[in-house]
Amino acid sequence: MSAVAEVDAGLLEQVRTILRRDLKLGASAHIPDDMPLIGGEMDLDSLDILLLVSSIEKHFGIKIPNEVVGRWAFQNVSTLAKFVQENTKAAGTGASSQAPLAPTREPDWLSLLPHGPEFRFISKVNHVTPGRQASGSWTVRGDEAFFTGHFPGRPIVPGVLLIESLSQLAGLAASDGKPGRSGMLANVDVRLEAPVVPPATVELTASVTRTMGSLRVCDVVASVGGKSVARGTVAVSIE
């Protein structure tokens, strides 16, 4: 029996929908079941694969080990759907809880950012576990220069700067704490959920969910007073 016949048609269509969305192919793009994912017409690069793997994991609630990427599971659309089908029911929930060893001396995390002080949108770093997660905050007073022209008289923190602050924290979460090894932005998918009116302290979190080569994908959340104001994913590349 062929791989196509063994795969649930509804699941196969879900995989195609994720491909159309993540690769920005358009809702009407034709994706044959036997279309190769690596090489061929699609020829996904490492960032494409990283984002696709993250989307598949989130959508179906499974984990895709790095060792199967590039092997039979990613030969084509059908084999990917078959891998998902076989692992959906068997997906476990036990993530590793082993705590990393604490560094002997905490780095000056803000100095590891590739930005100068004038373009840092993190006021305080609370905690960083290199390569895994980070938390911090951005205190917005209301007298910053960018508020002069951003809705004068009723200032709102620019959404693009909220996203920048999350991206900067993601760079710290993805780093290994070594000078010159900062994270450079590769992709952003962040949804703005509520306006932030100064003065305010924006709490920031970033957690690495997927690593592939030099690329790291982080789940990021910004909140004010316990209410989420922005959330999504940020991909960074470690130089």
For 29-82, how does the pLDDT look when each residue is reduced to its tens digit (9 = 90+)?
Answer: 888 888 888 777 777 887 888 888 888 888 888 888 877 776 678 888 998 999
CA 190/CA 161 separation, integer angstroms: 12
Domain ranges of the chain: 3-88, 109-238
Mean predicted lDDT score pLDDT of the chain: 84
Structure confidence at residue 4 (pLDDT) = 41
Q: 3-88, which class in CATH?
A: mainly alpha
Strands 124-129 and 133-140: antiparallel
Which among 187, 188, 232, 237 is positioned nearest to 216, based on CA atoms? Answer: 237
User: pLDDT tens, 107-164?
Assistant: 788 888 888 889 999 999 998 988 899 999 999 999 999 998 988 888 999 999 999 9
Structure confidence at residue 105 (pLDDT) = 57
> Which CATH number applies to 109-238?
3.10.129.10
Structure confidence at residue 71 (pLDDT) = 65
Catalytic, out of 59, 115, 127, 150: 150
Structure confidence at residue 5 (pLDDT) = 43
pLDDT above 80: residue 13: yes
Examine the residue annotation and report whether 150 is marked as an active-site residue of this protein. yes
Could you tell me the CA-to-CA distances from 139 to 8, 11, 213, 236 in Å, in that order?
50, 45, 34, 24
Q: Is 176 exposed, middle or buried (0-12, 13-18, 19+ CB in 10 A)?
A: exposed
